[in-house]
Amino acid sequence: MFQLSGKVAVVTGAGSGIGAAIATLFARQQARVVVLDVDETAARRTVAAIVDGGGLAEARACDVSNAADVADAFTRVVAGHGRVDILVNNAGIAHVGTIERTSEADLDRLYQVNVKGVFLGARAAVPIMLRQGGGVILNMASIASLIGVPDRFAYSMTKGAVLTMTMSIAIDYMKQNIRCNCICPARIHTPFVDQYVARHYAGREREVLQQLSDYQPIGRMGTAEEVAFLALYLCSDEASFITGQAYPIDGGVLVA
């Protein structure tokens, strides 16, 4: 079960964190993985780890907010592999602040990556999937798509857009055998979280990490690998009856 043998999977923002965990797991399940990241060095590190583990992967630098970059990346994938079976729109950036502490530049930056990036990735993948008879798109949303999260105005706005884009793609291409779902994580413990806390809360790292853990009623943050397992299911043939859905992975936040 959950094998991706013969499938070509493109994962954006896969140089670290959740994206790297998804790319690694997909390769372990026999997919040929294309790792896209704005940081090519990070993308190559992910690929090196995959190859060391016996998987098949390649790295490409790609700024998901740049239409030419995205189009070129997908053109190269098709030239090399002939198809795109899975797209995981994982690339994203964060922002902390209420509307009063969100500048126009902040909003534009979040929109460019978190919203436009998903749009450009899906827009590039859909025609390819139509030609080959189907495919799967998985977007990375957030529980901020579903509930109010304090001090996350701009971030929540973008992830709400990801949720509705997911539903729109699912309904528009259901009859063409293209499935589209999104994952809505609560707080996930990644290197980005550690770096952010160290930069903004120097000397209080342990206290702040505990606060982030306590936000989830289960008592801890999730792991990138746990998100990857859910991504694997949703992108596998075993989930062929599922489309247009938002899957929380939230440590009990939504039921508390």
* Catalytic residue positions, numbered: 155
d(CA 139, CA 132): 21
- What burial class does residue 113 get, using C-beta atoms within 10 Å of its C-beta: 0-12 exposed, 13-18 middle, 19+ buried? buried
The rounded radius of gyration (Å) of the Cα atoms in the chain is 17
Nearby residues of 174 by Cβ (< 8 Å), 6 or more positions away: 243, 244
β partners of residue 58: 34
Q: How far is CA 160 from CA 1, 181, 240, in A?
A: 32, 13, 24
Measure the CA angle with vertex 234, ends 230 and 240; round to 5°: 150
Measured distance CA(168)–CA(139) in Å, rounded: 12
Check if the beta carbon of residue 11 is closer than 8 Å to that of residue 26: yes
Q: Cα(96)–Cα(99) distance, rounded to whole angstroms?
A: 10
Judged by phi (left if over 0) then psi (alpha if -120 to 50, else beta), residue 6 lies in left
- Which pair of structure tokens corresponds to residue 236? 């596998």
Backbone angles phi, psi at 48, to 5 degrees: -60, -40
